[in-house]
Amino acid sequence: MLQISKSLRLSFSCFILIFQLLLMPAVPALADEGMWLPMLIEQKIPHMQELGFRLTAEDIYSVNRACLKDAIVHFGGGCTGEIISAEGLLITNHHCGYGQIQAHSTVEHDYLKDGFWARTRQEELTNKTLTVTFLRKMEDVTHQVLEGATAAMSEVERQGLIEANIKTISEQNLQGLDRKFYSVRIAPAYYGNQYFLYLNETFRDVRLVGAPPSSIGKFGGDTDNWMWPRHTGDFSLFRIYAGQDNQPADYSPHNVPYRARYHLTISAKGVKPGDFTMVYGYPGRTRQYILSPEVDYLVNRSNPHKIRLRTLRLDVMNREQAKDAAVRIKYASKNAGVSNSWKKWQGESRGILNAGTIGKKQEFERRFQQWAEASGRQDYITLIPRMKELYRELEPYLFASEMYAEAVMAVELLRFANNLENTFVRSGPANATEAARAFFKDYYQPIDQEIFELLFTHFYRIMEPLAHLLPGNTTDDQSPDAAGDFAQLPASDFTQLPAGDFTQLAANLYKNSVLTDPEKTMELLAKDSALALSLIREDPAFRLVDPFVRKNRTCIQPRITEINLELNLLYRTWMQAIMEFDSECIFYPDANSTLRVTYGTVQGYSPADAVMYLPVSTIEGIMQKDDPLVFDYDIPQSLRDIYAVRDFGQWASNGTVPVCFIATNHTSGGNSGSPVLNADGHLLGLNFDRVWEGTMSDIEFDPSVCRNISVDIRYVLFIMEKIGKADYLLGELDICKD
């Protein structure tokens, strides 16, 4: 909540608040919901132009000329990035590049703490597995995919035909292309009622160019994550390299900066309430059309238990990271990964409850059922009852699967033991050795051992009603009870343990497993292949985790797959049916990590009674939060010094520096790093988050509270110039100030 503590500023601040509220649109956001396919954006252009958009559909997506899509990349497979110079300079979020920044960090060169700025091309840092992918073409291939399908086919036959057709279409589109760098993805939309082809080009030489200190790039940390107002400089810079022919290539010192087909112009004009905004990126997954039982399960069972398990992990990590700089670096990325979903789930549940989503869906289902009964169509009449029956059958298996993932496989040692055996079998000892080195680089046993004890204690308590889904608890399951009867395993170094004595189990496990010791693990992997594999499988960590893996693989996942197969088939019918039932509604396909366009306007919102948030934050808020005693709010001294003399330079606006802004764009995970564009397609900022009250937008978009959070590009440029001293990078950019 925004508060003014100094009375002498109260009347002026109230005036500003009232003035800005008057500038906001008098009506709530209209039709800002939706993640639209670029090739079909023509149908939305009239509404976009009503909101102020000044470009055409061809400017957004074209296969005939360079356009905005040619500046957008899928960054690392999980985020979005965009090209901002003619020399392949790419910008994305700090948290998207966090893994690469951490991988290059040491205690001596702590780029997480101090930031990193390459002063020359030679100083740019290579990243072994990092890729960026451009969409080169998309096409509606529904007719080709479904060719030959008949109503008389069983679902297995139909799916087999579809898969064969997809393979044929993919082969045809990849002819003459190097498959190391080009790929085809054919993805269903509307639960298989439509299919789209995506031809992608992937670049594999992507180098780290710059990143601010985490005290800027992650300012506010987990405390501010998913919250507004926000003051995070969430950006990092990379450069794409290509071969001498400007084509994708593996890393080589002879590669040159990629000359992209299109790069974004940067707008230094900034934003004001009501301004048009468009986000262009790769949202991960939404579930707008699911039935009420799935939402009820999420809010009342799944999320509460997942939140509790992650709280246990975070408490241990946070305490130990605060004690030691080396541990802080090792666990920085892990902590961020655990905490991101942990906080999101809390906001998601709260948003769903506040919006009354379950009740709304139940009412929609009731009205649909009445309509179906009146229609006389038997396939529509039985649809909801059968789907609800399947959800009842699915829930225990889905819950067990989630708890296995959030408890058993959340223990690093157990996950490592399982992965090491898999890697050794599938890829050989060399790759297994490489995987072991990567594991131990960021491993700290005291954290993992305590987490094991806490998670297993909680896991066995919450799984008690589902004991039949634990190892060793069914007649057809020959695996030992992995924890309760662990002493029965043929390991001479384990003593009899009382069931549920996880403190003693943890002590014995971490004392006797070779896989907790990097030197012993490397010695093991250096042995004859057959012997090394045998020793991995005999290790206590592997013998503890393997029964869970096998139980999950043979009992839990097959049942989930079986039920979901029928559910997905019924959802295909459900989409057809609700499009008939609610014919005036415009339906957009759920996000599936393919390129999408979403648009809206800059707007504040009211999260609670008598509270109104403005849509723009400034550097003043950073200084108000600054606290050297609180890790999340301890900014660099250099930023304090700049603020003290108000050396804002050309990035000042109304005597301050804008930092972040919010708008009504419909975004999701995967949109991190997406460009936020103005009415002319110029870069205003980088999307990096959603407000906590609106994190349920994957399931229901509420225009009154759903807002995406972006870092203002002017703050990015300010940090590059004043903190990074990266004027040479600013010289690469096309910056428009008019």
Rounded to the nearest angstrom, the gap between the alpha carbon of residue 1 and the centroid of all alpha carbons in its chain is 26
Confidence of residue 448 (pLDDT cuts 50, 70, 90): very high
Give pLDDT tens digits for 61-99. Answer: 999 999 999 999 999 999 999 999 999 999 999 999 999
1 pLDDT exceeds 70?
Answer: no
| Dihedral class, residue 406 (left if φ above 0, else alpha if ψ from -120 to 50, else beta) | alpha
Q: For residues 683 and 265, give the distance between their C-alpha atoms in angstroms, rounded to a whole number.
A: 6
Cα–Cα distances in angstroms (integers) from residue 170 to residues 57, 101, 248, in the given order: 27, 36, 20
The architecture of the domain spanning 7-131+204-278+597-736 is Beta Barrel (2.40)
Quick one: average pLDDT of 360-382?
97
CA dihedral 96, 102, 104, 107 (to 10 degrees): 160
> Which pLDDT tens digit goes with each residue over 556-584?
999 999 999 999 999 999 999 999 999 88
- The pLDDT of 634-641, averaged and rounded, is 97
Q: What is the pLDDT of residue 475?
A: 41
pTM of the model: 0.85
Transcribe 85-144 into DSSP letters: BTT-EEEE-TTTSHHHHHHT--SSS-HHHH-EE-SSGGGPBP-TT--EEEEEEEEE-HHH
Mean pLDDT of 677-699: 97
Q: Would you say 657 and 258 are in contact if contact means Cβ atoms under 8 Å apart?
A: no
pLDDT for res 9: 33
Q: Dihedral angle at the C-alpha atoms of 146, 152, 154, 158, nearest 10 degrees?
A: -10
**Averaged pLDDT, 636-644:** 98
- pLDDT beyond 60 at 314: yes
Q: What local confidence, expressed as pLDDT, does residue 16 receive?
A: 33
Reply yes or no on whether the pLDDT at 116 is more than 50.
yes
Q: How far is it, in rounded angstroms, from Cα 605 to Cα 690? A: 13
Q: Exposed/middle/buried for 618, CB within 10 Å: 0-12, 13-18, 19+? A: buried
Cα 495 from Cα 306, distance rounded (Å)? 32
Q: What string of DSSP letters covers 650-677?
A: GG-BTTB-EEEEEE-----TT-TT-EEE
Pairing of strands 735-736, 266-267: parallel
Structure tokens at 26: 């008098």
**pLDDT tens per residue across span 504-534:** 999 999 999 999 999 999 999 999 999 999 9
Main-chain dihedrals φ then ψ at residue 613, nearest 5 degrees: -95, 135
Rounded Cα gap, residues 442 and 438, in angstroms: 7
Please answer whether residues 483 and 404 qualify as being in contact, where contact means their C-beta atoms are separated by less than 8 angstroms: no
- How large is the average pLDDT for residues 668-688? 97
Burial of 615 (0-12, 13-18, 19+ CB in 10 A): buried
For 610-625, the pLDDT digits (tens) are 999 999 999 999 999 9
- Taking Cα atoms as reference points, which of 158, 193, 393 lies closest to residue 289? 193
Range of 142-156, 195-209, 473-487 with top mean pLDDT: 195-209
d(CA 516, CA 445): 7
Buried-state track 653-689, b at ≥16 Cβ within 10 A, e below 16: eeebbbbbbbbbbbbbbbbbbbbbbbbebbbbbbbbb
Q: Please check whether residue 207 is in contact with residue 126, taking contact to mean a CB–CB distance below 8 angstroms.
A: yes
Report whether the peptide linkage leading into residue 703 is cis, meaning its omega lies within 30 degrees of zero. Answer: no
- Picking from 7-21, 160-174, 554-568, which range would have the lowest pLDDT averaged per residue? 7-21
**Comparing C-alpha atoms, which of 295, 293, 545, 552 is closest to residue 400?**
552
Three-state secondary structure call for residue 711: strand
Reply yes or no on whether the pLDDT at 368 is more than 70.
yes
Residue keyed to tokens 């709280």: 311
Residues 265-297 pLDDT 10s: 999 999 999 999 999 999 999 999 999 999 999
pLDDT at 105 over 60: yes
Confirm if 92 and 83 have CB atoms less than 8 A apart: no
Q: Is the pLDDT of residue 631 over 90?
A: no
Confidence of residue 223 (pLDDT cuts 50, 70, 90): confident
Q: How far is CA 124 from CA 49, 93, 104, 721, in A?
A: 41, 18, 11, 18
Mean pLDDT along residues 603-609: 95
**276, 277, 272: which is closest to 19 by C-alpha?**
272
Q: In the block, which residue shows the tokens 């051992």?
A: 449
What value, to the nearest 5°, has the Cα angle with vertex 413 and ends 411 and 414? Answer: 70
Q: Contact 208/127 with Cβ under 8 angstroms?
A: yes
Question: Which of 590, 595, 683, 668 lies closest to 136 in space, CA to CA?
Answer: 595
Q: pLDDT above 70 covers what percent of the chain?
A: 92
d(CA 459, CA 586): 43
Q: Which residues pair with 608 in a beta bridge?
A: 611
Crossing angle between the packed helical segments 303-321 and 325-355, to the nearest 10 degrees: 160
- Identity (one letter) of the amino acid at 713? I
Is the pLDDT assigned to residue 715 strictly greater than 90? yes
pLDDT at res. 500: 62
pLDDT confidence of residue 491: 37
- The count of residues in the chain is 738
Mean pLDDT of the chain: 91
634: confidence class by pLDDT, cuts 50, 70, 90: very high
Give me the pLDDT at residue 586, please.
81
Residue 68 is given by DSSP the state G
- Active-site residues, by number, are 95, 234, 672
Question: What is the separation, in whole angstroms, between the first and last Cα of the chain?
Answer: 34
Confidence band of 333 (pLDDT split at 50, 70, 90) = confident
Dihedral sign (CA 664, 667, 672, 673): negative
Q: Please give the share of the chain, as a percent, with pLDDT higher than 90.
A: 88
Start-end ranges of CATH 2.40.10.120 in the chain?
7-131+204-278+597-736
Can you read off the two tokens belonging to residue 539? 């290790």
**What does the block give as tokens for 166?**
């997809």
| Residue 369: both structure tokens together | 């059922």
d(CA 31, CA 37): 16
Mean pLDDT lowest among 54-68, 127-141, 579-593: 579-593
| CA 72/CA 132 separation, integer angstroms | 9
Give exposure, 301-335, as e/b (b: 16+ Cβ within 10 Å): ebbebbbebbebbbebbeebbeeeeebbbbbbbbb
Name the pLDDT band for 473 (thresholds 50, 70, 90): low
- pLDDT at position 490 is 36
Distance CA 227, CA 2 (A): 12
Number of DSSP helices (H) and strands (E) in the chain, helices first? 27, 21
Query: Is residue 591 predicted with pLDDT exceeding 60?
Result: yes
Neighbour tally for 126: CB within 10 Å:
15
The CA R_g of the chain, rounded to the nearest whole Å, is: 27
